[in-house]
Amino acid sequence: MATFFNAEEIVRIAVRTEETGCDFYKKAMQNATTPEMKELFSYLAREELKHKAYFEGLLGNVAEIAQGTPADWDEVDLYIKALVEQSLFFGEGRRGDISMAVLSGNEKEAVDHALDFEKDTMLFFYQLLQIVKESVRPSVEAVINEEKQHIKRLVKMKAALT
C-alpha cells in the first residue's frame, strides 16, 4: 500500500485542525450568553492558536521529525485517512453541523461539539506520536496534555449547563 500522507501533509493537517478549532471557538465565544462561556471559548481559541504556531514551527524541519518503517506509516496513514474523513471538522457535511450548533446559540450543543473536536484532535496527536522522532515527542505529548485539560474544562462546563 502506498502512503497517502507524508510527514509534511500530516503536520499541515495538524495546523489545519488547530485553525479550524480556533475559528469554531471564536464563533462560539461571540454567541455565548454568559461570561463563563465567553471566557472558556476565548481561552480555547487562544490555545488553538498556540498549538497552530507549534505545528507551523515543525513544518520547517518536517524531514527531521519523521521516523518509522513503511509499515508504520501505512498503519498511521489508514488511521489518519479515517479520522480526516470522519472527523468532526473535516467530514463531509460536518462543518455545517458545527456552524449551526454555534449559530443556534445552544451552548450545550457547542460544548458537545467542542468535546468531540478535542477528542478527535487528541486521537490524531496520539497517532502523530507514533511517527515522530524521540526528540519531538515531548512537545507533542505536551500538546496532548493540554488537549486533556481542555476536555476537563469542557466536561466541567457541560455539567454546569445541565
Give a yes or no: residue 2 inside a domain.
no
- Number of domains into which the chain is organized: 1
Give a yes or no: residue 139 inside a domain.
yes
d(CA 21, CA 55): 14
Q: Which tops the pLDDT comparison, 127 or 53?
A: 53
The count of other CB atoms within 10 Å of the CB of residue 158 is: 15
Give a yes or no: residue 1 inside a domain.
no
- What would the pLDDT profile of 89-133 be if each residue is shown by its tens digit? 555 555 545 555 565 567 888 888 888 888 888 888 887 787 777
CATH code of 79's domain: 1.20.1260.10
Give a yes or no: residue 69 inside a domain.
yes
Q: Which tops the pLDDT comparison, 45 or 139?
A: 45
Q: Is the pLDDT of residue 4 over 70?
A: no
One-letter amino acid for residue 25 of the chain? Y
Average pLDDT over residues 55-69: 70
Check the CA dihedral 131-5-57-113 and report its sign. negative
Residues found in the chain: 162
Residue 33 buriedness (CB in 10 A; 0-12 / 13-18 / 19+): exposed
Expressed as residue numbers, the domain containing 78 is: 7-161
- Mean pLDDT score across all residues of the chain: 77
The count of other CB atoms within 10 Å of the CB of residue 86 is: 12
- What would the pLDDT profile of 63-83 be if each residue is shown by its tens digit? 666 665 555 556 666 666 666
